[in-house]
Amino acid sequence: MVYIAPSLLAADFSRLAEEVGRIERADMLHVDVMDGHFVPNLSIGPAVVEALRKKTKLPFDVHLMMEEPLAYIGVFRQAGADIITFHIECQDQPQAVIAAIKASGARAGVAISPKTPAEAIGPWGEDLSQITVMTVEPGFGGQSMMLDMLPKVYKLRARFPQALVEVDGGVNLETAPLCKAAGANILVAGTSVFRAQDPYLEMRCLAM
């Protein structure tokens, strides 16, 4: 069983509610939050999450690409986040962030950028619901998947069987089977789903 998480980053921002309606049959909505520091881009804030929360029942998988995730956990949870993921690269105290996410009532995830080895996730990884393996350099949608990240997926799946392993970046009909073979449980797909003529068909084919 694999879950499909369309990434809002690839949606038409001038009509977000309608775009979310097109992917209503997905398993969750992936929301990329970028701070212009951790990544060289700015994207979506809590006001957008709150507005979309009123338009859909899809679980919100909020990916914080930011240097200060602790400061924003409460605000994104209140806006409607169900899963909150932070980046291991900007945290000396990942346990504290995980505890804060759990205390907020959300499920906790960690994301790991391409240059960071799987081993950066210590024994505290056992407290995670989700691990996001970045298969592109974070910051922009529409990039090609770095296939050499797939062994990381395999390794993390084996090491943390309680967590769902998510792949993020460059997922399409060609790369999805490879991700699934490596053990991925969640496929984040922005461009391939939102730019498809029929997003529902695209999601079904990605999941097959």
Ligand X SMILES: O=C(CO)[C@H](O)[C@H](O)COP(=O)(O)O
Residue nearest to ligand X (CB): 190
By beta-carbon proximity to ligand X, the closer residue of 83 and 171 is 171
Please report which helix (H) or strand (E) contains residue 114, including its range: none
170 is in an annotated binding site: yes
Identify the active-site residue in 27, 148, 168, 198: 168
Least distance from ligand X to the Cβ atom of residue 103, Å: 26
Given a contact cutoff of 8 angstroms between Cβ atoms, the answer to whether 193 and 173 are in contact is no
Is position 12 annotated as part of the catalytic site?
Answer: no
**Could you tell me if residue 183 is left (phi over 0), alpha (psi between -120 and 50 degrees) or otherwise beta?**
left
- Cβ–Cβ < 8 Å for 81, 103: no
Nearer to ligand X, 62 or 156 (CB): 62
Answer yes or no: 198 catalytic: no
Closest separation between CB of residue 172 and ligand X, Å? Answer: 7
Q: Which residue's entry shows tokens 């999805």?
A: 176
Helix then strand count (H, E) for the chain reads: 8, 8
141 assigned ligand-binding residue = yes
Shortest distance in whole angstroms from residue 15 CB to ligand X: 18
Residues that bind ligand X in the complex, under the rule CB under 6 A:
7, 9-10, 30, 32, 136, 138-143, 168-171, 188-192
Catalytic residue among 27, 32, 35, 61: 32
Residue 184 contacts residue 151 (beta carbons within 8 Å): no
- Closest to 131 in 3D by CA, of 147, 145, 142, 116: 116
30 is in an annotated binding site: yes
Distance CA 130, CA 163 (A): 5
Nearer to ligand X, 99 or 146 (CB): 146
Which residues are known to be catalytic? 32, 168
Q: Which residues are annotated as a binding site?
A: 7, 30, 32, 63, 139-142, 168-170, 190-191
